[in-house]
Amino acid sequence: MWKYLKSIYLHPWFPRLFFKKYDGGKSSGVTGYFLIEWKKVFSIGLLHFKDGSREAYHSHAFNAITWWLYGKVKETIHPSLSERYFSPSVRPKFTKRDCFH
């Protein structure tokens, strides 16, 4: 029974509410506190980046809109190696799903 319920809960079309998970795996240093994660539709979450986290290039499975609440971030786009800096702002950052950064 639990295996069946777990397969429903983890299915991309099933919305998950109010949970915590490591975003990008435990070694990424990013903890996500999600209000909702509905992979096929949208997600709303708060991400906590520890110092030195996400030092690996990656892309996303979805387009993202991001607001920084605290701290500064340097983003390097691959392969051009162009750099952009972000800090807390009312203006969001839009990241396309095909952005390899």
Q: What is the pLDDT of residues 4-33, one digit of tens each?
A: 877 777 777 888 888 888 877 667 777 888
β-strand pairing of 82-86 with 73-77: antiparallel
Q: 34 pairs with which residues across the strands?
A: 19, 45
Q: What's the predicted TM-score (pTM) here?
A: 0.65
Q: What is the pLDDT of residues 36-71, one digit of tens each?
A: 888 778 888 887 877 766 667 777 777 778 887 877
Burial readout 63-75 (b: 16 or more C-beta within 10 A, e: otherwise)? eeeeeeeeeeeee
What is the C-alpha separation between 48 and 94, in angstroms, rounded?
A: 18
